[in-house]
Amino acid sequence: MLYPIIISCIIIYFIRAEMFKTDFSSFDKFLAIIMVTAFCIGILLQIFRFAKPDPLRGELNGFITFNMDEIIADDSVFKLNEINKIEITNDDYYGKGKGNSKGSFNSNLSNGVDNQLIITLKNGENKTYNYELYNPNDLQKVQDELINYNLKDKLDFPNLINILGITKESEIQEFKNKIQKSLSK
């Protein structure tokens, strides 16, 4: 809304200056004050929104619960033996810096809802659930369940290490060894 005000003032000024060949008048000063005020309001809005995540547009209902033999999403229960594949994205969390394009007055912090759980059932049906993460490592709390899904060929290993935030080659190898040791017990 601020950009149209500024652009309108500039257009009005140039129309008056070029078409009517008028000198800088009190009306032009008024236009300049409006433009500067709109610009300052934009800067203040950006400062106040800088440390505040975007508001949630919509609502989140229910919970996702990961158990060893099932996943409960909202009111639906998916037994592990009914699931063909599980895909999880957890790249977003509350307060994550998302950058901001120049000239945008929107918040540069995320509200943490750009995450998905996709369950592909053996009958070919896909169930997709969006969910909110408050902390970046919240899914590490269900690491044992996620490892179990991987061992039962429901969750791919690259997806598993991405969820758990394991990125270094040495950590990946150490994690593989940990899983192998748990299998041999």
3-state secondary structure string, the chain? CHHHHHHHHHHHHHHHHHHCCCCCCHHHHHHHHHHHHHHHHHHHHHHHHHCCCCCCCCCCCCCEEECCCEEEECCEEEEHHHEEEEEEECCCCEEEECCCCCCCCCCCEEECCCEEEEEEECCCCEEEEEECCCCCCHHHHHHHHHHHHHHCCCECHHHHHHHHCCCCHHHHHHHHHHHHHHHHC
Mean pLDDT of 26-53: 75
Tens of pLDDT, residue by residue over 63-115, are: 899 999 999 998 899 999 999 999 999 888 777 776 655 555 556 677 778 88
Could you give the CA distance from residue 137 to residue 124 in angstroms, rounded to a whole number?
A: 31
Mean pLDDT of 36-61: 71
Amino acid at 160: L
Tens of pLDDT, residue by residue over 107-162, are: 667 777 888 999 999 999 999 998 888 888 888 899 999 999 999 999 999 999 99
pLDDT at residue 171 tops 80? yes
Mean pLDDT of 28-33: 80
Q: Where are the domains of the chain?
A: 2-50, 64-184
What was the pLDDT predicted at 44?
76
Mean pLDDT of 49-58: 65
The least confident of 23-27, 38-42, 50-54, 180-184 is 50-54
What was the pLDDT predicted at 90?
87
What was the pLDDT predicted at 40?
82
What was the pLDDT predicted at 2?
67
Could you give the CA distance from residue 118 to residue 86 in angstroms, rounded to a whole number?
A: 6
pTM, two decimal places: 0.67
What was the pLDDT predicted at 128?
93
